[in-house]
Chain A
Amino acid sequence: MNFDLSDEQKMLAEQARGLLGERSTPDHLRSLIESGAEWDEPLWREIAGMGFLGAAIPEEFGGLGLTELDLGVISEEMGRANVALPFFSSIVLAADAIRLTGSAAQKAAWLPKLASGEAVGTFAYVEGAGGWTGPALKATFEGGALNGVKTPVADAGVATVAVVLARAEGKPALVLVNLDQPGVTRTRLDSFDQLRPHYALTFANASAELLAGQAIEELFDRAVVQAAFEAVGGADACLTMARDYALERAMFGRPLASYQAIKHKLADIAVALELARSNAYFGGWAAGESPDDLPAAAAAARLTAISAFERAARENLQVHGGIGYTWEANCHFYYRRERTLAISLGSREAWADRLIAHLPGTQAKAA
């Protein structure tokens, strides 16, 4: 047993942290929002050049062929910098769906473009208040035509391709659709996280194709592991922000950080964060090396990461006091991103159910 990142993974993390931290500063993020920008396109081009987009895409399709855990290392840094990039939509969801379920032709058509950043992908699964599983799923795919409304869909404004959950022959299925066609209408919505804009996508006889394989559950499992890494990065950033502010701010003649009420609050976050990070590591390892363990590992990573990020984002704002409620103080970026991650890809209850349903697999390792 060796349960630590490798030296190469630590270097990758450092490289990503250095670049994203330098480019994705709070001031820069604020200016993106104020200018109405859809995303940080220059940074997208830059990280594409560094190979981050193709990290987990096979070499034959223009990627680096690295592991899920390597991708997790990058996802964590995306969360720490709270980036205005469609990395999660395009790489973690769309590219992974195509890599996991696409035919050779589908992979060849899209993976090289997604790896290079030339194309951006997204994943459209929700249908507004009506839900998105079981009988609630209304979008249909029939005879090569996609019909229905998916909303909200993250990053659809800049996406060129979407993987869409639709009903095909009565069953939920993954469908691949090029968004640059007359049958697709995109409507920008009032998004809670301004750095991750959401859209309504309307498909009216849009030309689409079924993905060859249909591993919907596995796709969700793999994606929530990456979302857990992103949440861990965000939680870590909040903890550091709160700690740094508490050290510099004095009250009643002593640093805020010297009060036990503050110390214990941050210690609790540190514990929740390390448990979550450990689950994310196991999830990343299981996704690549031990598929039988993945469903429970993914669910556990999801539950702990969201609860750590939720706590960290809330308490970071609280430690900052009134300043925390100002636009300039930056706490709100994480406060909004946290809810975005918590709600995307299913509720706390749904992942709790998945963990309980997959208990036997969790016991197998020790045997």
Chain B
Amino acid sequence: MDFNDTPEEAAFRAEARAWLDASAPAHEVPEGVKLDDADEVRRGRAWQRALYDGGFAGITLPKALGGRGGTVIEGVVFAEEEARHRLPKGPYMGIGLGMAIPVIGKHGNDTQRARFIDRTLKGELTWCQLFSEPSAGSDLANLRSKAVRDGDDWIVNGQKVWSSWAHESDWGILVVRTDPTVPKHKGLTFFVVDMKTPGIEVRPIKQISGASDFNETFLTDVRIPDANRIGAVGEGWACCMTVLMGERLGSGSSKSGMMPIIEYAAATPRGAGTALDNSAVRLALAEALAEERGGKYFEARLRTMVSRGENPGALAGMVKLAYAGRQQRALGLAMEIRGPEALAPSAGDAATHDLQYDYIWSTVMRIAGGADEVLKNQIAERVLGMPGDVRFDKNVPFDQL
């Protein structure tokens, strides 16, 4: 066991840091600056292009697919170094890099790989994920959007929801039902779709935070060429699993975590000292920090597994499960530490405005990427070997549910 870099990893870290120190400053977003969405995506594309030109796009992607062909640990090292800079990184790039490229790489054909992967690595294509529907969230395979074959095309009708950054996306990864006469996991097919295709309407959803980075996406007689089908007809579920595995074991280094909250408590006057001098505050923050550290080292164990070619499976969900609940509680505590002004900060108090926003936003982390309850079921069933839940839809054709 060694938590330090190997000599090869240390050399890679030095190379990455030197390159980032030279290249990142021109792309950094100053603290407290709120960009509009179009400007943020423009900057995100430019940074991705810089990564590509510098040889750091797709660190772990095989060279044959245009990536760097690096190790899992090198991917982590680069993410850690990149996190030292305030760069425009968001779902508008992450969905393409972390979800579209893996699924096209694994299930697509050579034409599709040549058409999409290199341009995504260059930042020329942004992607959104068209998976969830009003009646298919945690129960994703319950989706109702359908595609019907028409010559060389498919005609798609339906409604998707929670499509992050769809309003700024060039392409979408889409799963729809192509056969309602078989059980629900079996009748699905996977596509990529040009978001400018006629019949696609993206409507922003106003969220509880007041922001609108999610959308609902309506598809009305949308024609998708069969050439944009990924994998075989009826094998969409396997493609979804590839996407979701990439989503679970993301890099932990970008998570904001407990340190800013502890620093905030240490900077907040309370009596003769600071809020952190209060033993109840200190205990709550220390316990959360201790758990966060456990999560960090647990991720290191999972990455060690992945670097050996082992699949962590449902273990990967543990990290997010622990993180999301902890972060929500800690941000609530941070608002208490701020005191009544947390309820109505003055106009120039950007830090408290951010705190309000983060507290609201923390709710979504317990839902997105697998709700707490779904992850707990997976851990109980796949890690602890407990029985599956009672299911009334198993082996029943979708159209008879």
**A interface residues with partner B (beta carbon < 8 Å):** 1-6, 9, 69, 239, 243, 246-247, 254-255, 257-258, 260, 262-264, 266-268, 270-272, 274-279, 281-282, 284-285, 289-290, 296-297, 299-304, 307, 348-349, 351-353, 355-356, 359, 362-363, 365-366
Contact = CB atoms under 8 A, between A and B. Distances in A.
21 contacts: A1-B4, A3-B297, A239-B384, A243-B384, A255-B387, A257-B387, A263-B376, A263-B386, A270-B318, A277-B298, A278-B298, A278-B301, A289-B2, A289-B3, A300-B290, A352-B287, A355-B289, A356-B282, A359-B259, A365-B3, A366-B80
B262 A356 contact: yes
A2 B304 contact: yes
A260 B376 CA distance: 9
Contacts, number: 169
B300 A267 contact: no
Given A3-B300, A247-B386, A303-B286, A282 B293 contact: yes
Contacts of A351: 286
B6 A299 contact: no
Interface in B342-401: 373, 375-377, 379-381, 383-390
B285 interface: yes
Nearest to B71: A1
B33 interface: no
B298 A275 contact: yes
Contact of A1 (B276, B294, B304, B379): B304
A360 B41 CA distance: 35
Contacts of B318: 270-271, 274-275
B282 A278 contact: no
Contacts of A296: 293
Interface in B75-101: 76, 80
B26 interface: no
Nearest to A9: B1
Contacts of A363: 259
A353 B282 contact: yes
B301 A362 contact: no
A353 B384 CA distance: 35
B125 interface: no
B279 interface: yes
Contacts of B373: 260, 264
B1 A4 contact: yes
B213 interface: no
Contacts of B73: 1
A297 B389 CA distance: 39
Given A263-B380, A299-B286, A352-B283, 4 more contacts: A263-B384, A267-B383, A307-B287, A351-B286
Given A69-B1, A274-B318, A268 B286 contact: no
Contact of B3 (A276, A279, A282, A362): A282
A275 B304 contact: no
A6 B345 CA distance: 53
Nearest to B72: A1
B46 interface: no
User: Which 10 interchain pairs have the tightest Cβ spacing?
Assistant: A275-B294, A352-B286, A263-B380, A278-B297, A300-B290, A3-B300, A303-B290, A267-B376, A278-B298, A267-B379
B287 A303 contact: yes
Nearest to B289: A355
Contacts of B6: 1-2
Looking at B290, B383, B386, B390, which has the most chain A CB atoms within 10 Å of its CB? B290
A4 B283 contact: no
Contacts of A348: 283, 287
A300 B279 CA distance: 17
Contacts of B2: 1-3, 285, 289
Contacts of B385: 243, 247
Interface of B: 1-6, 9, 73, 76, 80, 259, 262, 276, 279, 282-283, 285-287, 289-291, 293-298, 300-301, 303-305, 315, 318, 321-322, 373, 375-377, 379-381, 383-390
A278 B300 contact: yes
A239 B2 CA distance: 28
Looking at B9, B279, B286, B315, which has the most chain A CB atoms within 10 Å of its CB? B286
Nearest to B285: A356
Contact of B386 (A1, A246, A276, A281): A246
A302 B286 CA distance: 11
Contact of B262 (A6, A277, A359): A359
A349 B296 CA distance: 23
B387 A3 contact: no
Nearest to B377: A263
A247 B381 CA distance: 12
B109 to A, nearest CB: 36
Nearest to A240: B384
A3 B3 contact: yes
Contacts of A263: 376-377, 380-381, 384, 386
B287 A266 contact: no
Contacts of B375: 267
A10 to B, nearest CB: 11
A235 to B, nearest CB: 13
Contacts of B276: 356
A258 B282 contact: no
Contacts of A365: 3
Given A258-B386, A275-B322, A355 B381 contact: no
Contact of B294 (A5, A268, A276): A276
Contact of B1 (A6, A279, A301, A304): A6
B5 A1 contact: yes
A6 B381 CA distance: 28
B376 A264 contact: yes
Contact of B322 (A9, A258, A271, A362): A271
A282 B297 contact: yes
Contacts of A277: 298
